Structure 1
């Protein structure tokens, strides 16, 4: 039995993290404290000053535990990691989980490349971004590759130019792959690209506009429209808006707006003095926090997984724990990070602009977001009510399905819904490795064992390092949905028992038309006549699990089909198959190639070229045999 008063006396006068738990040992809340004894005692020494939500949480607390740290900054980091791991009900959570794309110029390599990435590393490369629209960044990369005719082969790995890449034959590569240009000429192109990404693009836009006009004059309106759209997209992607004529600093500008029970954070991305984009985030359940505390919550959760931290963070209003946040971000960046609360000047204007944008976005989105979230929450409530579970305990649902054709190309899928909404970043796919042939139960057993083994291993690493591992299996579901009935449920329950886990499992039962009919749970089937919202949610989850599985299955099957065609040709092994596909782009184009074109591929000699050609042109093989043996014509 946990003695509350006795444990309150044991609390130390040190910084650390505390975890509030209910009667089922579920974590209700995670917090940090400069002095644990003072902070935790506040919850139980008179509740008149507590917010209603916190009072309700305290009523549920049956026990608590604490972790002592050396500094308050360490407590901050541990608190954020524990919140991300456990997602406690009474912690305010940032609802959006996004990473942003960058264009990376690998100036640290002998032959620099321009590539698309979502990871910002300390590797001496140049990064441009973040770009808030992934499509805009991809289109920009495509334009750079096409305009400067960049070779897509990594010359750093293939320094001897023994064969041209496929793009070279389409006049889309400058010939770096076959040493048609020197390393110095290539670096000059890279300097031009860097200047372009840094803002020196007026002349290029003029050239594109001239090309568009010429296309229109030649009545090639389709080409003119494509150029027009590309110019518009690039200008939107670059959105040049100078915030300071004297500053070339990188900065993030953060403003929050609160209306009733909704809070929206607006962040402007400023890179080298230019406003390049913006993004907004919804912050859930803000009832128990002041606005300065909400600023601190947003900053902690946003920068915990951020790939880039600017030197300046401009905040529109007072923020709690500024000194601790500043120290933490400086350690994370390995450079000094400054928080600025501007009172006048250009930065004050930009902070006010971010605040106004947050207000407008909140007004515009409020009704729509509220309607969507209410629908998702109602669906979750209806689902747990339909099968008799506690609605307060079910937040994360995982659904599993498998896909194969007569046991071939077998794959499994895991889709995740949190509070009734899909969380695509947590989806996982599995390629069946151990089971051969048609055995759905064995295949489900394999993917479930792999999933939960990974989860327990990551949790073990988390406890050892007090840090989140690179993998993303660490969060366990509150409810598991299996595509199938009693048999599939039994498989899942058996695997959970092996790992000592107690998670409810339902089977998504289908009717004769392969449509969702109900849920099989604890030995009986539940229908949805009285719960239409639950029916729609389960149908959506089941369809999504099936879609994700079959998409991966088709991808594997198509890849195998392309490879198997070339594998049937005598003399064509893995290396020659790869060379042919790289050179021609597809098996179909390999089949259309002439003998001379086939022999142009570096690893293909005359004998192999002839075998490839005759494989795709069997009628010519018969004619050749007929000419060599006149008796066949008699």
Structure 2
């Protein structure tokens, strides 16, 4: 634990202008980014009596080893720079409002020839329209089921679409008129695309025009005595109206607003946001996050600070995601009105920044009365309930993680709790396709952005000794990388000190401008195995001169913890949280290694049968397998069918069938 006085800058050297500041730890990692109207006032507050600081702020300043700042001319610039740095460095002590991937969305793949409607979770992709998020996947499916009657867009996967195209018969939805059946040519690509666009228009809020058009057509059909068509149109109107009823009207028609509310305790904050479009609640989402500490250090209180942090991060991410999408998403990522429980200190600057993102005026305000005030109270109740449920769920988890880390420190006699744990595992089949995984846990939780996998170069054959050699190789490669990054950082600092180059940022690669993710060691390095594996890893660390990393091995059979050079293992209680955490780390490494091994083996086995075909490069091999789905189906195809693949001629098709025929005969026993 560092003393903040050791790196406190002289008060007179800190400017009084607005700016953005970064705290870094001893390895050069950025651990916190903040902004201030007056850098001097804000930074001096961190170096006051440490015991008077918020617990998370106190932990941050005692973890940090240096602080630096950048002066800007306006507070809008400070907002933008703070957002960019938080996104770039991912500081562990900043509040991060990440999209909760458990929220389902309705996606329409407008980037396909025949767009498809489906339920989706995860990061947004270019060329796909998204609607939501919704609270439950079944709510999406109910809505889609109603709308398919009016907008019969396809919902099947690519494989199902291709199969029905080949057999010439539509699926069940095609027979009951809930799909336009483009797979069998009932509609062409342009007609089906128009249906998908109408579907998106309805979900985007342009509902009145569509309902009026259907009612006009119904009246025309009735006037022409075409009662069968009029009845069908009447049922379509009823389906649209039922879909609209599922989206509660909460504000006046034409109102586009996001309503945001918070619930907080001493350490955490819950935020809920309702997306209101055309007066209806179109989506809802929420997060529970650890507070950064700055919120309680501000004179204006914690809620205004939380509001500012949330607005800059959330809408910055929304606009970035919308730019990767199509249609009107980019224009509607920021609504015309943002309703918040309290205005931030820099309300005018935040409002200008949001207006720049939207491209037109955005009103940021606190609702005082009427329907908007009532809706704000509803959102606040949702936030309070979310915080209560989160505390009930996480109380045991937080306690368990703290107890587990403390237990590992005590059992292994470490100097400090292992806040960063790295684990390596080897996967192969009798010595072939040997791969390794390296997973990272920080504060007892997986940090998947730092996971790595390795293709082993030195191992050959199979057996236990090869696992030992593979462990040694991965350890050497991982910690040689650490030494290179540390040496590069030292060289950069020395060059900057001597004036040969411009001063760089510690922990940042000057060539790429990105953080050196592995320029700092783990507290604990775990290998999957017993004494031979852990001794091999320890020998590599000794060879490289790494002395500040504890190494252990976790043997699967009896879950024994092996320490280098010790004849007997450390036995942890079977029901201890410490052993449970080590098992989680080891099992995650095992899962990650097996996933990589299977993908590598699958690629090798798929390509090997076609490798011998003269003139067939990787691109055409991939096109062949993608077209037919497997090598077995290529083997069953005719020359004419193979030549349907772009780039494949008759001679190449015959060579492919000849190579696959020889491959089949050579693998037949007898």
Counterpart of 1:34 in structure 2 is: 37
Deviation per residue, 1:104-138 (Å, 9 max, x gap): 6547x9x58559796668x8x67322435797799
Cα distance change of structure 1 residues 296 and 400 upon mapping to structure 2, 3 Å threshold: farther
Counterpart of 1:508 in structure 2 is: 553
Identify which range, 20-29 or 382-391, moves more after superposition: 20-29
The answer as to 2:253 corresponding to 1:246 is: yes
1:376-395 alignment runs, 5 A limit: 376-389=401-414, 391=416, 394-395=418-419
Cα distance change of structure 1 residues 562 and 45 upon mapping to structure 2, 3 Å threshold: closer
The answer as to 2:107 corresponding to 1:103 is: yes
Deviation per residue, 1:517-547 (Å, 9 max, x gap): 2153798987253792211111110111011
> Secondary structure at the residue paired with 2:43?
helix
Deviation per residue, 1:307-348 (Å, 9 max, x gap): 254223321344443334334444455554432322234333
CA distance in 2 between counterparts of 1:481 and 1:236 reads 55
CA distance in 2 between counterparts of 1:277 and 1:176 reads 31
CA distance in 1 between counterparts of 2:423 and 2:610 reads 38
The answer as to 2:197 corresponding to 1:191 is: yes
CA distance in 2 between counterparts of 1:329 and 1:338 reads 9
Instruction: Please say if residues 243 and 275 of structure 1, whose CA atoms lie closer than 8 Å, have aligned partners that are also in contact.
Output: yes
Give the C-alpha shift of residue 297 in structure 1: 3.2
CA distance in 1 between counterparts of 2:29 and 2:591 reads 33
CA distance in 1 between counterparts of 2:481 and 2:163 reads 40
Give the C-alpha shift of residue 360 in structure 1: 1.8
CA distance in 2 between counterparts of 1:450 and 1:506 reads 18
Cα distance change of structure 1 residues 472 and 136 upon mapping to structure 2, 3 Å threshold: farther
The answer as to 2:581 corresponding to 1:556 is: no
Counterpart of 2:77 in structure 1 is: 74
The alignment's TM-score, normalised by the length of structure 1, stands at 0.69
CA RMSD of aligned residues (A): 5.4
CA distance in 2 between counterparts of 1:59 and 1:245 reads 51
CA distance in 1 between counterparts of 2:385 and 2:433 reads 50
Match for residue 518 of structure 1 among 561, 583, 601:
561
Identify which range, 578-587 or 534-543, moves more after superposition: 578-587
Match for residue 420 of structure 1 among 414, 435, 444:
444
Identify which range, 186-195 or 30-39, moves more after superposition: 186-195
Counterpart of 2:219 in structure 1 is: none
1:451-470 alignment runs, 5 A limit: none
Cα distance change of structure 1 residues 378 and 302 upon mapping to structure 2, 3 Å threshold: farther
The answer as to 2:14 corresponding to 1:17 is: no
CA distance in 1 between counterparts of 2:362 and 2:8 reads 42
Counterpart of 1:486 in structure 2 is: 535
Give the C-alpha shift of residue 8 in structure 1: 0.7
The answer as to 2:283 corresponding to 1:277 is: yes
1:545-624 alignment runs, 5 A limit: 545-567=589-611, 577-592=621-636, 603=648, 605=650, 607=654, 611=658
Give the C-alpha shift of residue 561 in structure 1: 1.9
Match for residue 339 of structure 2 among 294, 300, 314:
314
1:327-476 alignment runs, 5 A limit: 327-332=352-357, 335-389=360-414, 391=416, 394-423=418-447, 425-426=448-449, 428-432=451-455, 437=460, 439-440=469-470, 441-446=472-477, 473=517
Deviation per residue, 1:399-437 (Å, 9 max, x gap): 3333233553233323232321224x4253435286574
CA distance in 1 between counterparts of 2:539 and 2:397 reads 34
Give the C-alpha shift of residue 355 in structure 1: 0.8
CA distance in 2 between counterparts of 1:21 and 1:581 reads 49
Match for residue 166 of structure 2 among 165, 169, 172:
169
Instruction: Please say if residues 16 and 69 of structure 1, whose CA atoms lie closer than 8 Å, have aligned partners that are also in contact.
Output: yes
Cα distance change of structure 1 residues 58 and 482 upon mapping to structure 2, 3 Å threshold: closer
Match for residue 529 of structure 1 among 572, 575, 594:
572
1:128-207 alignment runs, 5 A limit: 128-131=130-133, 147-148=153-154, 168-171=165-168, 184-195=190-201, 197-198=203-204
Instruction: Please say if residues 237 and 276 of structure 1, whose CA atoms lie closer than 8 Å, have aligned partners that are also in contact.
Output: no
CA distance in 2 between counterparts of 1:299 and 1:261 reads 20
Cα distance change of structure 1 residues 550 and 319 upon mapping to structure 2, 3 Å threshold: same
Cα distance change of structure 1 residues 151 and 374 upon mapping to structure 2, 3 Å threshold: closer
Give the C-alpha shift of residue 549 in structure 1: 0.6
Cα distance change of structure 1 residues 285 and 614 upon mapping to structure 2, 3 Å threshold: closer
The alignment's TM-score, normalised by the length of structure 2, stands at 0.66
Give the C-alpha shift of residue 262 in structure 1: 3.9
> Secondary structure at the residue paired with 2:10?
helix
> Secondary structure at the residue paired with 1:70?
coil
Instruction: Please say if residues 276 and 283 of structure 2, whose CA atoms lie closer than 8 Å, have aligned partners that are also in contact.
Output: yes
Cα distance change of structure 1 residues 406 and 24 upon mapping to structure 2, 3 Å threshold: closer
Cα distance change of structure 1 residues 310 and 14 upon mapping to structure 2, 3 Å threshold: same
CA distance in 2 between counterparts of 1:236 and 1:521 reads 65
CA distance in 2 between counterparts of 1:57 and 1:152 reads 50
Give the C-alpha shift of residue 371 in structure 1: 1.2
Could you tell me which runs of 5 or more consecutive residues in structure 2 were left unpaired when the two chains were aligned: 172-179, 212-241, 297-301, 323-332, 461-465, 493-503, 528-532
Deviation per residue, 1:55-108 (Å, 9 max, x gap): 78778888644332333333344445555677767x45347564676736547x
> Secondary structure at the residue paired with 2:403?
helix
Give the C-alpha shift of residue 357 in structure 1: 0.9
> Secondary structure at the residue paired with 1:343?
coil
CA distance in 2 between counterparts of 1:30 and 1:83 reads 6
> Secondary structure at the residue paired with 2:605?
helix
Instruction: Please say if residues 254 and 277 of structure 2, whose CA atoms lie closer than 8 Å, have aligned partners that are also in contact.
Output: no
